[in-house]
């Protein structure tokens, strides 16, 4: 492709009215008591470091980060998987892209548009993520049902965009069905950032 015309610091994007991008990786495991059950049973959740400038101490994906200029989404995923969770190369190689989540919100600086590239990876039994860059206080392996209950009942404990990525995961894996009240609105809101080219 053509060389970029301009490079912006991510924090400045909002002032120019352009979307910023990020990557979020859902790490999940199968039911250890039923190896024939192929659906996700539990999810690794990160608790953000209290020293983080934004959303300290809130729940997050196992791996997540902003998208810098000059590298691909997948290269960024590899970098974040190593820095934030110390995942071994074979697990990083198994990470798969699964879609986009987008949203807009108003801040004191203006209207912010975010587009998140979502990824899933099945984590081997017994593998525990270990933070290497100080951005995660701890990791917890929680049953999917408990994660969804937490989002329903204790949403302020979650980094807002990470909660959206969990809901997207739940929809894709059949934990939220069309019979759920508000299902159509849920699906719409997961793509409400308007990342099309119109």
How much is the pLDDT for 17?
Answer: 80
Structural domain boundaries of the chain? 10-189
183: left (phi over 0), alpha (psi -120 to 50) or beta: alpha
Q: What is the pLDDT of residues 59-105, one digit of tens each?
A: 999 999 999 988 999 999 999 999 999 999 999 999 999 999 999 88
Backbone angles phi, psi at 57, to 5 degrees: 75, 0
**Cα–Cα distance measured from residue 113 to residue 107, given in angstroms and rounded to the nearest whole number:** 11
Mean per-residue pLDDT of the chain:
92
Comparing 1-15, 114-128, 155-169, which segment has the lowest mean pLDDT?
1-15
pLDDT exceeds 50 at position 197: no
Q: What is the pLDDT of residues 16-56, one digit of tens each?
A: 888 899 999 999 999 999 988 889 999 999 999 999 999 99
- The CATH homologous superfamily for domain 10-189 is Nucleoside Triphosphate Pyrophosphohydrolase (3.90.79.10)
Task: Band the pLDDT of 198: cuts 50, 70, 90.
Answer: very low
pTM of the model: 0.91
């Amino acid at each position: 492709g053509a060389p970029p015309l301009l490079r912006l610091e991510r924090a400045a994007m909002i002032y120019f009215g352009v979307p910023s991008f990020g990557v979020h990786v859902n790490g999940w495991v199968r039911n250890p008591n039923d190896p024939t059950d192929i659906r996700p049973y539990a999810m690794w959740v990160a608790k953000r470091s209290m020293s983080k400038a934004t959303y300290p101490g809130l729940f997050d994906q196992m791996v997540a980060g902003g998208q810098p200029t000059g590298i691909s989404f997948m290269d960024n995923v590899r970098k974040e998987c190593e820095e934030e969770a110390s995942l071994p190369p074979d697990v990083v190689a198994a990470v798969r892209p699964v879609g986009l989540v987008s949203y807009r919100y108003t801040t004191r600086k203006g209207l912010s548009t975010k587009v998140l590239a979502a990824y899933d990876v099945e984590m081997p039994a017994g593998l525990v993520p270990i933070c290497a860059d100080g951005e995660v206080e701890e990791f917890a392996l929680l049953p999917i049902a408990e994660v969804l209950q937490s989002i329903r009942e204790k949403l302020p404990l979650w980094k807002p965009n990470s909660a959206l990525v969990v809901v997207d995961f739940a929809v894709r894996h059949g934990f939220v069905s069309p019979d759920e009240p508000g299902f159509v609105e849920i699906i719409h809101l997961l793509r409400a950032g308007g990342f099309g080219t119109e």
